[in-house]
Amino acid sequence: MTAPRTAFVLGGGGILGATQIGMLRALLERDLRPDLVLGTSIGAVNGAFLAADPTLAGLTRLSGVWADLAGGAPALAGREPAAARGRRLTRPRTSASDGETAADVRRERRGRSRRPGRRVPMHLYPPGRFLRMLRHHLPVEEFGELAVPFQCVAASVERSVAHWFSAGPIAPAVLASCAVPGIFPPIQVGDEHFLDGGLVHSIPVGRAVALGAERIFVLHVGRVEQPLEVPRWPWEVAQVTFEIARRHRYVEEMASLPDDVEVHALPSGADDAPTVSFLHANERYVSRRVEAAYDAAGRYLDRR
């Protein structure tokens, strides 16, 4: 009997994506490897590295990237250096290309206020550093060079649909999948602009089923384990609303799985899963998430 076609599905969640490192370690140590990898947002980052080298050695490389991210390296976290933060905010290029074009210049001008001397920021971080980090650390450049088939999703602004990247350069596609509104600008790839994949497919289990997966390991970041509470403050309304929009498709797809598809939603081992997760970028927090997920996922896999 042949082994079932196995998919690893990695959801979004900012710095909480460190949870997936622990889950991956538990899976790979038990010789569980994917035939297909799907990723959303930070899950697209982790998924791309996994698909490039689905071994413990490859995971060690990815863990090194996360160690730098947890340490607050500006090139990884998307922060401006201290000197640059003191300067006037400008609207950086929105294209996934490193080269500046005339269109880039026009977009920058349109992003400025008409009031003389004032410029309007549309997002917190410029995407260039994150893009360069991906290009520097990923061992391959094109989807076709990956050891395992990989797809990542982003939300098309112009078409208002989920767009799945599965060919061409990896880094711009992953960046597009990570373009959280307000954090990064819309990312241009080709003739379209894209926002974070979590807007349309936060944990794409249904995509794995559609592509023929018979066994699915779901690597979420812990949010779906925590029930939502009725908002009590004005700022909580937007957070809860966005979280409902982010969760509902996953909940519906899990409830309508075919009988012949085996699904394992790995436990995160965490007792919290904040919706504003980028605030927790420190080494101790990341390490705790990794180890908690490793222990919880390991116990789950040993019992199945």
At 204-254, the pLDDT tens digits run 999 999 999 999 999 999 888 788 889 888 888 988 887 888 788 999 999
**Mean pLDDT value across the chain:** 83
Ordered alpha helix ranges (H), 196-275: 205-210, 234-255
Which positions are annotated as active-site residues? 41, 196
pTM: 0.83
Please give the CATH superfamily to which domain 6-77+125-303 belongs: Cytosolic phospholipase A2 catalytic domain (3.40.1090.10)
Domain map (residue ranges) of the chain: 6-77+125-303
Residue 81 has pLDDT above 80, yes or no: no
Quote the DSSP letter at residue 168.
S
Give pLDDT, residue 103. Answer: 53
- Report the range of poorest mean pLDDT among 99-108, 117-126, 163-172: 99-108
d(CA 168, CA 159): 20
- According to DSSP, the β-strands at 6-10 and 162-165 are unpaired
> What angle, 0 to 180 degrees and rounded to 10, lies between the N-to-C axes of helices 128-137 and 56-70?
150
Give pLDDT, residue 97. Answer: 53
At 40-65, the pLDDT tens digits run 999 999 999 999 999 999 999 998 88
Cβ atoms of 69 and 158 within 8 Å: the answer is no
d(CA 142, CA 139): 10
- Dihedrals phi, psi of 192, to nearest 5 degrees: -115, 160
At 173-197, the pLDDT tens digits run 999 999 998 889 999 999 999 999 9
d(CA 181, CA 153): 15
